[in-house]
Amino acid sequence: MSASRSHEVIGLIVSAHMRLAVLASGSGTLLDAMARAGLPIDLVMVDRHCAVEQIAAEHSLRCVLIERTDFSPNFDRERYTDKVLDQLSIERIDLVAMAGWGTILTSSAFKAYPDRILNTHPSLLPAFPGWNAVEATLAYGAKVTGCTVHLATEQVDAGPILAQEAVDVLPGDDQTTLHERIKAVERRLYVETIQTILQRERVS
């Protein structure tokens, strides 16, 4: 690829005519927000049967299941990652947005898509990384938390930060009420960040 057909956006190397894949495993609320905002989603990938499949169908989005059937300590993560990468290659994907994706991928994914895998996290990283961020926030007694959009790396929740927005922790908050307010911010912030990347790519 010539230098004239690539550029850097917020530390992210992108190419002309980017093809976007969304990897998701859960309720599909992030995918729904992306689709309603008009993001040009070329592929939805799920690792298990879940509500995401229905959301994809409602928006007429191509959805592929790369099913994870083994949740034991013997899970062959490298082989599974290879299957994911094979499908992304077939679909000619340039940019990957994780949206509640439930399977940690190996280093192969980040070597294949350096600085091109996005993720969100329900805290103001580097504070409270990991799966139980909202619970940890409340246990610590933090007064402010928020949402982070970042580049995904092999080390979980440790990639470069692209965008953050604060959310106050209110008196009487529990995990459900606090997480719902964070998710409301997350849906908007993630969409805005991806839109910025794609818009800057189009005018390059």
Q: Per-residue pLDDT averaged across 46-69, rounded?
A: 98
**Catalytic residue chosen out of the listed positions 7, 17, 121, 179:** 121
In this structure, the strands spanning 161-168 and 95-99 are unpaired
Q: Which residues pair with 15 in a beta bridge?
A: 6
Number of domains observed in the structure of the chain:
1
Instruction: Determine the pLDDT at residue 16.
Output: 54
Q: What is the pLDDT of residues 156-183, one digit of tens each?
A: 999 999 999 999 999 999 999 999 999 9
Q: Is 59 a catalytic residue?
A: no
Domain CATH code at residue 140: 3.40.50.170
Residue range 63-103, pLDDT digits in tens: 999 999 999 999 999 999 999 999 999 999 999 999 999 99
Beta-strand relationship, 161-168 and 20-24: unpaired
Domain of residue 22 covers: 3-202
**Which residue blocks in the chain are alpha helix, DSSP H?**
29-36, 51-58, 77-90, 107-112, 133-140, 175-202
Grouping H, G, I as helix, E, B as strand and the rest as coil, residue 22 is strand
Q: What is the pTM of this model?
A: 0.88
Has residue 13 got a pLDDT over 50? no
